[in-house]
Structure 1
Amino acid sequence: MQRYFNSYIDNFKGFSREIWVLTLITYINRTGAMVMPFLTKYLHEEFFFSFNEIGWMMACIGLGSLTGSWIGGKLTDKIGYYTIMLSSLFLTGFGIIALMFLYDFVELCVGLFLITAIADMYKPAMYVAVSNFTNDQNRTRALTLIRLAVNLGIVSGPIIAGMLIQKDNYDLLFWIDGLTCIIAITTFMLLIDESKIYKARKTILRKKENKTLIQKSNIYDKNFVLFLFASFITAFLFFQLFTTIPLYNTEKLKLSEIEIGLLLSLNGIIIFLFEMPLIGFLETKKYKDTKIILSGSVFMTLGFFCLLISKSITIMALSIFLITIGQILLFSFSNTFAFNRAIKGHEGKYMALYTMSFSVAQITSPKVGFTVIENFNYFSNWLLMALVGIIGISMYYILDKNIKTENKFKIQ
């Protein structure tokens, strides 16, 4: 046990001060993100909006996420991630506080779209920031560290929010959510040395090396486009974990609230205990990113095949375990692949497209899943997801073969 603990701690070593600051502000920001998990409850119980109206509002959030990711990526390449991250956090903070003063359906739709767009400008900028303060040896672990901060924030934020809601204090949620964005931006400004930020980005050598490449759009990179479609498919599967699967546990398995909570927490526990050591181990083995991503898609798909025979909490736990292992392998190394694939000076655009693949999946996955369940049954939905997973595996397999061929040509 002591050996594992020492090994676990070793995986957190070797990061620059800036990476730890980015991790801290990400945790502060995600812990304070209390409004979104309870937004549908707030809109239905406080303003008596119909589920159809709430559905349109959720669509506005999805469109805002797509728009913000794209704009954030473009602006990151033009004016740098520092300005984009500061602007996004600052405007999001005040925007969330202002949201509590909106009551009309149209006002809320517009407000949610704008706030989400501004908030999601942060994502591609943050990815580029992390990559600029890392190297090839610790980049994947650094991105994993950021994801760990996100997961911890997602776990702790709703707990605090639930305690506040019990006291019927929705207004305080908006204030805390907004203020944590402002606290995050203040921490960022105080602890990050702006002079270090553009050291590699503006060098003449980089411009010369990529003078011809920069003219190419990422739409001509067929392997990157294939990667984006495969990323969409695996994200499409992943979002079932927090939408249709909890409902299945309630309606079909008849699990108690405690059992459902324990199952959902299993995902976070596995990530917290094993993600960093596993990523650290795989980095030392020098496996290709595409091989690891392919393995992750296999694990995630197997998780949905388990759901086809799920009749007990034990099988459900096995399914979540497999999906979580797939999540760890996929998302950790996909971030690295997307950044390494990017043309120098255009990293923001590439990371924006990668982020957008998740945004599209977040919009479509619940809609498709619930539609299949409503018109057919849960078994049909799990079968569909398993088949979709096989398509994802096939795409990653082709990607791996293409990259191998591409590397052979480079060597020649």
Structure 2
Amino acid sequence: MRTVRGWFQHTTGGLPRAFWYLWTGTLINRLGSFVLVFLAIYLTQERGFSASAAGLVIGLWGVGGAVGTTVGGTLADRWGRRPTLLTAHLGAATMMLALGLARPLWAVALGALLLGMFAEAARPAFGAMMIDVVPEKDRLRAFSLNYWAINLGFACAAVLAGFAAQAGYLLLFVVDAATTLVTALIIFTRVRETRSVPTGPARSDGRAPTGALRTILSDRVYLGFVALNLFAALVFLQHISMLPIAMGDSGLSPATYGSVIALNGVLIVVGQLFVPRLIKGRSRSHVLALAALVMGIGFGLTAFAHAAWFYGLTVLVWTVGEMLNSPSNSTLIAELSPAELRGRYQGVFSLSWQVAGAAAPVLGGLVREHAGNTTLWLGCAVVGGVMAVAHLVSGPARERRAAQLRSPSLPVRPVTVVRTPVPEAAEAAATGPAGPVRANR
């Protein structure tokens, strides 16, 4: 008992109160995250759209998300984390209801586009706020706990949505919108603005420095990491777009898909809290490479699945890779993000997910239609293997960059901040001399 209590204290103790409010909002929001899980089934079986039309709608969700993360990252740095989160959640709840009531394909497509934009605009602000409130030494635990909450909610939502859909698919949209509003209420009443006024090369009016886009585009180490995440997301998101269709072809019901995909959340809920201690002190490059390889194998096994238990086995395998990937990914992103550009860096990272969200269902549908189901899933395995090698090759450069951003005594290249020339009098009124760029998902 004393050992369990000590483990629990080590896992959850010492984290700031603001983190727990964000954690609670995450859990509530994910408990109602019914729509995206069942959108492909809803569009093909309830609405009678073709698989290609369903892929287009889900792809437009990703296109909207790409716009949302870009705008949301900029607003998080310029406007603030809190107002960005509030606006995004309120807009997402509204568009969730609109999508549920839409009937023509063009209206469904437009609703998905706008919903993706609002829903994903919250992601960079939330990630930046999480980094703001949690000290660097506690981030691995904090990100693992937040990921645990995401998947606890997801596991419950996947099962509940399967039964709720039997009462009418509109209920899925209503519940999802309601939980989004509750999350917005928690943020509004309990979480203060966490964006600090930048120092050093940032502007004296509290805004992020100019030339931010040029800074990010010149950061090859960071962009390389984002590119690897894009390929990982292209594989991972097949569980939303092509997996339910493959299971339907095997004669399995939507409720069975919900139960199978819920295994993903159940395994993470059971095991994710033990992952930080398991990977602590190990090479992040090796952990990320192993994660990519295991995830690829898991999706590759789907090529041979025809029964529910076999599909469940594949989900369990790629979930292990996901569990290894998430905390290492999140802490590395935090360390590679200069503090004054944190929202934008989070936005660019989230953009890789949105690009994948738009491309994964389209590419998956095309490969499946023209090359077959087996080729699709074995192709995922090949991508996982290539990513594993890429992580091993690029890992040392990432760790050097992270060390540069942590240490004020080391030069940081090529991350430079371009400043707009100001009169000497205005420059003299600035808060102080330029300081080092430091990184505090």
TM-score, normalised relative to structure 1? 0.84
Note if 1:271 corresponds to 2:273: no
**Aligned counterparts of 2:377 and 2:185: Cα–Cα separation in 1:** 45
1:60 match: 60
Q: Conserved in 1, the CA contact under 8 Å of 2:70 and 2:121?
A: yes
TM-score, normalised relative to structure 2? 0.79
Q: Conserved in 1, the CA contact under 8 Å of 2:298 and 2:318?
A: yes
Offset, 1:307: 5.4
Q: Conserved in 1, the CA contact under 8 Å of 2:51 and 2:365?
A: no
1:234-273, aligned counterparts within 5 Å?
A: 234-245=232-243, 248=246, 263-273=260-270
1:115-264, aligned counterparts within 5 Å?
A: 115-168=115-168, 170-194=169-193, 197-198=194-195, 201-204=196-199, 207=202, 216-245=214-243, 248=246, 263-264=260-261
1:146 maps to amino acid: N
Q: Conserved in 2, the CA contact under 8 Å of 1:76 and 1:125?
A: yes
More displaced, 305-314 or 40-49?
305-314
Offset, 1:122: 0.5
**Aligned counterparts of 2:13 and 2:275: Cα–Cα separation in 1:** 15
Q: 1:387 to 1:6 in 2, by over 3 A?
A: same
2:78 match: 78
Q: Conserved in 1, the CA contact under 8 Å of 2:299 and 2:380?
A: yes
**Aligned counterparts of 2:348 and 2:337: Cα–Cα separation in 1:** 11
**Aligned counterparts of 1:395 and 1:57: Cα–Cα separation in 2:** 32
**Aligned counterparts of 1:303 and 1:27: Cα–Cα separation in 2:** 26
2:286 match: 291
Equivalent of 2:353 in 338, 351, 358: 358
Q: Conserved in 2, the CA contact under 8 Å of 1:275 and 1:328?
A: yes
SS at match of 1:14: coil
2:332 match: 337
Offset, 1:392: 0.9
**Aligned counterparts of 2:370 and 2:209: Cα–Cα separation in 1:** 54
2:439 match: none
Aligned length: 404
Q: 1:273 to 1:114 in 2, by over 3 A?
A: same
1:94 maps to amino acid: T
Q: Conserved in 1, the CA contact under 8 Å of 2:158 and 2:262?
A: no
2:17 maps to amino acid: R
SS at match of 1:202: coil
1:164-205 CA-partner distances (Å, limit 9, x unpaired): 33233x4443333222222221122222244xx23xx21535
**Aligned counterparts of 1:159 and 1:273: Cα–Cα separation in 2:** 16
**Aligned counterparts of 2:378 and 2:157: Cα–Cα separation in 1:** 34
More displaced, 171-180 or 218-227?
171-180
Q: 1:259 to 1:52 in 2, by over 3 A?
A: closer
Q: Conserved in 2, the CA contact under 8 Å of 1:213 and 1:343?
A: no
Q: Conserved in 2, the CA contact under 8 Å of 1:81 and 1:126?
A: yes
1:240 maps to amino acid: Q
1:299 maps to amino acid: V
Note if 1:282 corresponds to 2:312: no
More displaced, 175-184 or 369-378?
369-378
1:13 maps to amino acid: G
**Aligned counterparts of 1:173 and 1:265: Cα–Cα separation in 2:** 16
2:107 match: 107
1:35 match: 35
Q: 1:179 to 1:310 in 2, by over 3 A?
A: closer
1:327-370 CA-partner distances (Å, limit 9, x unpaired): 11212211221221112211111111111212222333333334
SS at match of 2:338: coil
**Aligned counterparts of 1:314 and 1:100: Cα–Cα separation in 2:** 32
Offset, 1:86: 1.0
Q: Conserved in 2, the CA contact under 8 Å of 1:226 and 1:395?
A: no
Q: 1:405 to 1:180 in 2, by over 3 A?
A: closer
Offset, 1:78: 0.9
Q: Conserved in 1, the CA contact under 8 Å of 2:336 and 2:402?
A: no
2:177 maps to amino acid: G
**Aligned counterparts of 1:37 and 1:408: Cα–Cα separation in 2:** 39
Unpaired runs of 5+ in structure 2? 412-441
Output the aligned Cα RMSD. 3.5
Q: Conserved in 1, the CA contact under 8 Å of 2:222 and 2:398?
A: no
**Aligned counterparts of 1:107 and 1:53: Cα–Cα separation in 2:** 13
Equivalent of 2:323 in 302, 325, 328: 328
Offset, 1:281: 3.8
Q: Conserved in 2, the CA contact under 8 Å of 1:214 and 1:344?
A: no
Q: 1:55 to 1:8 in 2, by over 3 A?
A: same
Q: Conserved in 2, the CA contact under 8 Å of 1:93 and 1:182?
A: yes
SS at match of 1:121: helix
